[in-house]
Structure 1
Amino acid sequence: MTALTRILSTTAFKLAAIYLTSFTALSVFLFIFISNNTDDLMNKQVVQTVDAEIQGLAEQYAQNGINGLVVGVERRVRSPNSNLYLILDYAGNFITGNIAYLPEKVLSESDGRIQVVTYTPLGLPETDENKARAIVRIFELPGNFKLLVGRDLEDQVHLKSLLGDALTLWLVGMIVLAGITWFFLNRRILKRIDNLSMSSRQIMEGDLAGRLDVTGNGDEFDRLASNLNVMLDRIEELMQGLKEVSDNIAHDLKTPLTRMRGRVEAALRQDMSADDGRKCLEDTLVETDELINTFNALLRIARVEAGSTGAQLKPLKLSDIVRDVCELYEPVAEDDGVEFSVQIEDEPVIDGDRELLAQALANLIENALKYGRPPQDTAKPLIKVVLSATKEQAILRVEDNGAGIAEADRERVCNRFVRLDGSRHAPGSGLGLSLIKAVVTLHQGELQLISAGSENDSGSKGQSGLCARVVLPRNKGQRGEGEGNEAWDKAQKKNATS
């Protein structure tokens, strides 16, 4: 009983019942429509045939009288057709024809109108099995003679019977076919849904590595499973990131917190002067600011990755952002003894958030200023910002001539709180590249860390240092520089109007 209830409550059964009911109703409607119209059409043809026979017999009666009419009817009766004829005298006695019996009520109505009657053919006993239907006209002739002309409806009855049998066979076949289709469809759908439910339960129990089955036939279940698998991949990635963040926070923030606690405890144990106490508080305040900045950076990364920063991607010129940010850092680089250069080869239009992109570029330049110095001051520090473009992409590069990053560490260094051994002497929390990567991903771009000499148009081959390469898709309406500027101008006009 439970299994039956489960089957009857499935969507497949309900859909099969709806389709079966709809097709049955449509089939019955078509049968009634075709049957009625066929009857009307055949009745009109029968009436036309009867009227044509009446016209011929009327001409014979006009020429030869009752005797000629009788001769004409006898000749027609002997020919093989479905026409009916009957001539009676003034007393109702049979003179000639092919009808053995006709109700008296029908014979009394001899006004020439069309009548549908039941009769017994000549030569057959008067029983219910031998009765047939016909369309007739009855006329009263001079001398109280009566003439009946009609046509048998056996062909119509046979055709309607064939239509009824065809409808019955169609309905039975449709029900059987619907049942077979429902059986296999229901089994297949229930099996797929059961597999999805089982996989979902495993995932809910904590197996985040579990995935929904994809058969590969491309149906709606495969599309649903594929989308859910992508969502599960993202959830697993976020959960793994959360775990790593928790571990990193516990590890990397433990040291400054412990240092702050030790400094406070030492201050409480010692009889410190006012200047020493102020110095202790200032150091503690610096440590506190670093912790706050770290948490703010983590919050910023989380918001960017979740897409909840309120960022609105609008058409903008990437070259304007590069100019503005580089203009701010040129004096800083000059004071720090760094040779800073900017090279803008193209002015691509992209869909982006100005504030986030500016912060990402600023982080790249700050990383180059802090970590991109040649070892042992063997050469003058160099930072080069290059903006170029292809037909589909905008490419922003920030290069330095420092020690660079080993190829094995380039992917790992973009994770949160990752700091290489060579950079631990400099202040920082290891969150800069994580934020940059989050911003680039939000803009459907890619962050690549490569050797500074890998680009064909940057520096000499084999040059040391790191090249941070940001690849962003160009605005969809931009196809070449002219159209890009046109898209930019339209966006600017729209913003100015609003």
Structure 2
Amino acid sequence: MTALTRILSTTAFKLAAIYLTSFTALSVFLFIFISQNTDDLMNKQVVQTVDAEIQGLAEQYAQNGINGLVVGVERRVRSPNSNLYLILDYSGNVITGNIAYLPEKVLSESDGRIQFVSYTPLGLPETDENKAKAIVRIFELPGNFKLLVGRDLEDQVHLKSLLGDALTLWLVGMVVLAGITWFFLNRRILKRIDNLSMSSRQIMEGDLAGRLDVTGNGDEFDRLASNLNVMLDRIEELMKGLKEVSDNIAHDLKTPLTRMRGRVEAALRRDLNAKEGRECLEDTLVETDELINTFNALLRIARVEAGSTGAQLEPLQLNTIVNDVCELYEPVAEDDGVTFSVSTEAEPTIEGDRELLAQALANLIENALKYGRPTEENVKPAIKVVLSANDEQAILSVEDNGAGIAEVDRERVCNRFVRLDSSRHAPGSGLGLSLIKAVVTLHHGELQLTSAGSVDDSGSDEQSGLCARIVLPLTKGQRGEGEGNEAWDKAQKKNATS
């Protein structure tokens, strides 16, 4: 009973019932429409045939009287057809005809109008099984003679019976076929839904690596399962990121908090003078600011990844952002003894948020200033910012001539709180590249970390360095018009000049 109730409550069963009911009602309507119109058409033809017979008999009666009429009817009776004839005398006795029995009530109505009657054909006993349907006209002639002319409706009755049988057969076949189709489709749909439900329960129980089955036939269940699998991939990634963040926070923030606690406990145990107390508070304030900056960076990354920063993506000239940011960092690099160069020959237009893109570029430059130092003492540190474009993308790269990042660490270094051993000596929280990656992902772009040739003045390529490349899609209006198109380059320069 439970299984039956479950099947009857499915959407597939309800849809099948609705379709079956609709097709049944439509079939019945078509049968009634066809049957009625066919019946009317055949009745009109029968009436025309009867009227034609009456016209012929009337001519014979006019020429030869009642005797000529009787002779004409007898001749027609001997011809095998569906026409009916009957002549009665003034006493109601049959003179000639091919009708054995007709109700007295019908014979009494001799006004010549069309009548649908039941009769018994000549030569058959008067029983219900032998009764037939006919359409007749009855006239009263001079001398109280009566003339009946009609036509048997057996063909119409037979046709209507055939239509009824066809409708019955059609309805039975349709119900059986619908039942078979529903059975197999319902089993298939229920099986797919049960698989989806089972996989969902496994995932809800904590198996985030589980995925919904995709059969590969491209139906709506496959499309649903594929979209849900993409969502589950994203959820798993976020949960993994949350776990890593929790672990990293517990690991990386425990040290400064412990150091702060130790400093405060040491200060409480000692009798500090005003100067020493102030220095202790200043050191604690610095540690506190670093912790606040770390949490602010985490919050900003979370907002960017969730798309809740309120960022308004609008058409931007990327070269203006690059020039503005590099203008701010160029004096800083010079004071730090770093050769800083900028190349923005391309003028790509992208859909983006100016503040977030400027923050991402600033983080790349700061990373290069902090960690992009050459390992050899006689090599001057150098940073090169290059903006280029192709037919589909804008490419913003920041290169340095430092030690670079090993290929095995390039993907890991973009995670939160990941700091390589070579960068432990410099201040930082390991969140810079995570923020950059989140911003680039929000702009439907890609962050690429590769080795770079030396960018120092000597032109030596002994140093590998790091090339951090941000790849962003161009606006639709600029696609296919990359810097490789000379005509486009000339038009851009002309517009800039004008």
TM class by shorter chain equals over 0.9
**C-alpha distance in 2 between matches for 1:241 and 1:19:** 49
**C-alpha distance in 1 between matches for 2:187 and 2:321:** 59
How do 1:347-426 and structure 2 match up within 5 A? 347-426=347-426
Query: Is 1:187 equivalent to 2:192 in the alignment?
Result: no
CA offsets, 1:40-81, max 9 Å, x none? 111111112112222222233233332332222222222221
C-alpha spacing 1:242/1:178, structure 2 compared with 1 (3 Å)? same
Query: Is 1:231 equivalent to 2:224 in the alignment?
Result: no
SS of corresponding position for 1:483:
coil
C-alpha spacing 1:493/1:18, structure 2 compared with 1 (3 Å)? farther
CA offsets, 1:68-110, max 9 Å, x none? 3222222222222111111222222212221111112111212
CA offsets, 1:224-278, max 9 Å, x none? 2222211111111111111111111111111111111111112112222211111
C-alpha spacing 1:496/1:322, structure 2 compared with 1 (3 Å)? closer
Alpha-carbon contact 1:452-1:458 (below 8 Å) kept: no
Displacement of 1:141 in angstroms is 2.2
CA offsets, 1:416-451, max 9 Å, x none? 111111111111111000000011111111100011
C-alpha spacing 1:298/1:26, structure 2 compared with 1 (3 Å)? same
What is the RMSD of the two structures over their aligned residues, measured on CA atoms? 4.1
C-alpha spacing 1:158/1:457, structure 2 compared with 1 (3 Å)? farther
Alpha-carbon contact 1:374-1:401 (below 8 Å) kept: yes
C-alpha spacing 1:155/1:231, structure 2 compared with 1 (3 Å)? same
SS of corresponding position for 1:125:
coil
C-alpha spacing 1:489/1:392, structure 2 compared with 1 (3 Å)? closer
C-alpha spacing 1:191/1:242, structure 2 compared with 1 (3 Å)? same
Who is 1:289 aligned against?
Answer: 289
> Which consecutive unaligned segments of at least 5 residues does structure 2 have?
none
Residues paired across the two proteins, number: 498
Displacement of 1:18 in angstroms is 1.9
Query: Is 68-77 or 421-430 further displaced after alignment?
Result: 68-77
CA offsets, 1:330-372, max 9 Å, x none? 2222222222222123222212111111111111111111111
C-alpha spacing 1:127/1:447, structure 2 compared with 1 (3 Å)? same
Displacement of 1:494 in angstroms is 25
Alpha-carbon contact 2:384-2:455 (below 8 Å) kept: no
Displacement of 1:480 in angstroms is 4.5
Runs of 4+, deviation exceeding 6 Å: 454-462, 482-498
Alpha-carbon contact 2:383-2:455 (below 8 Å) kept: no
Alpha-carbon contact 1:315-1:488 (below 8 Å) kept: no
Displacement of 1:188 in angstroms is 1.7
**C-alpha distance in 2 between matches for 1:60 and 1:456:** 129
Alpha-carbon contact 1:348-1:484 (below 8 Å) kept: no
Query: Is 100-109 or 297-306 further displaced after alignment?
Result: 100-109
**C-alpha distance in 2 between matches for 1:23 and 1:347:** 64
CA offsets, 1:138-195, max 9 Å, x none? 1222332222111111111111111111111112112222222222222222222222
Alpha-carbon contact 2:50-2:136 (below 8 Å) kept: yes
**C-alpha distance in 2 between matches for 1:23 and 1:487:** 64
Query: Is 170-179 or 123-132 further displaced after alignment?
Result: 170-179
C-alpha spacing 1:34/1:341, structure 2 compared with 1 (3 Å)? same
> Which consecutive unaligned segments of at least 5 residues does structure 1 have?
none
Alpha-carbon contact 2:83-2:149 (below 8 Å) kept: yes
Alpha-carbon contact 1:339-1:382 (below 8 Å) kept: yes
Displacement of 1:479 in angstroms is 3.4
C-alpha spacing 1:310/1:116, structure 2 compared with 1 (3 Å)? same
C-alpha spacing 1:234/1:497, structure 2 compared with 1 (3 Å)? farther
SS of corresponding position for 1:212:
coil
Displacement of 1:312 in angstroms is 2.2
Displacement of 1:386 in angstroms is 1.2
Query: Is 284-293 or 223-232 further displaced after alignment?
Result: 223-232
C-alpha spacing 1:431/1:75, structure 2 compared with 1 (3 Å)? same
**C-alpha distance in 2 between matches for 1:81 and 1:454:** 112
C-alpha spacing 1:459/1:163, structure 2 compared with 1 (3 Å)? farther
Query: Is 444-453 or 343-352 further displaced after alignment?
Result: 343-352
Query: Is 1:126 equivalent to 2:108 in the alignment?
Result: no
**Identity among equivalent pairs (%):** 91
Alpha-carbon contact 2:203-2:210 (below 8 Å) kept: yes
Query: Is 176-185 or 107-116 further displaced after alignment?
Result: 176-185
Alpha-carbon contact 1:372-1:403 (below 8 Å) kept: yes
Displacement of 1:488 in angstroms is 16
**C-alpha distance in 1 between matches for 2:488 and 2:439:** 22
Alpha-carbon contact 1:477-1:484 (below 8 Å) kept: no
